[in-house]
Amino acid sequence: MIDWIGWLATAVFASSYLCKEPIALRRVQAFAALLWVGYGAIIHALPVVVANLVVAGAALYSSLSARRAAPTQGA
């Protein structure tokens, strides 16, 4: 039953490569990493939790900093 979370995280992460915008790619990857955090917590795998917290944090930070740095359209 629990395995479906890991499979879902894998599918979400793989689908991120279909994103055309870098910000969308990072956010989808952050979401997948958070799914992996949940999966790791359920199976009591601290390395999975910590590694994916780092990935999710980096992906969210880079998507937010890229958004701030991007020029606004129509200006």
| 31 φ, ψ (degrees, to nearest 5) | -60, -45
Q: Distances from the Cα of 53 to the Cαs of 21, 24, 68, 69, 73, in angstroms?
A: 22, 18, 22, 24, 32
Please state whether the predicted TM-score (pTM) of the whole model is above 0.75: yes
Q: What is the mean pLDDT of the segment spanning 42-56? A: 97
Residue 68: per-residue pLDDT: 74
Q: What is the mean pLDDT of the segment spanning 47-75? A: 85
Query: Collapsing DSSP states into helix, strand and coil, what is residue 8?
Result: helix
Residue 11: per-residue pLDDT: 97
Q: What does the alpha-carbon distance between residue 39 and residue 56 come to, in Å, rounded to a whole number?
A: 14
Q: What does the alpha-carbon distance between residue 20 and residue 26 come to, in Å, rounded to a whole number?
A: 11
